[in-house]
Amino acid sequence: MSTETQLLFVYNADSGTFDRLADIGHKIFSPGTYSCALCAITHGIFREKEQWRSFVASLPVECIFLHRDEFLLQHPGFQGQLPGVFLHTANRLTPCLCAERLKSCRDMRDLQQLICTHCINEPEEPSR
């Protein structure tokens, strides 16, 4: 994978203190209706899970994490659903995990496997 490629993780939650407090409350009182599957798997109630942090550190590509409002400021034309995981190069944003696929993850292992399969592995070169 090119060293210029980044893996961009976008949460379906906005940044800011009030938004974070609202997310904590939502996770505590109504976890089944929480709208960010990525955050639900990678974070506990108050912080990022150590297993997730270790996995991200092991990836062979730079990882960037954005909230929905931050992402939409950088990519105002985006029309898809979030959360999502994207391959980002200097001039291209390519989805590799959509909201529906993230929602189908049962646990951290599922998420890690999807990332390794759909976001990290490059397509094979055609035979000559």
pLDDT by residue, tens only, the chain of 128 residues: 555 889 999 998 887 654 565 555 545 545 555 556 788 888 776 678 899 999 999 999 999 999 999 999 999 989 899 999 999 988 789 999 999 999 998 899 999 999 999 998 753 333 33
Please give the Cα distance from 80 to 95 (Å, whole number): 10
Question: For residue 90, with 0-12 CB atoms within 10 Å meaning exposed, 13-18 middle and 19 or more buried, which class applies?
Answer: exposed
The predicted structure's pLDDT at residue 28: 52
d(CA 119, CA 18): 32
Could you list the beta-strand ranges (E) of the chain.
6-10, 62-66, 84-89, 92-97
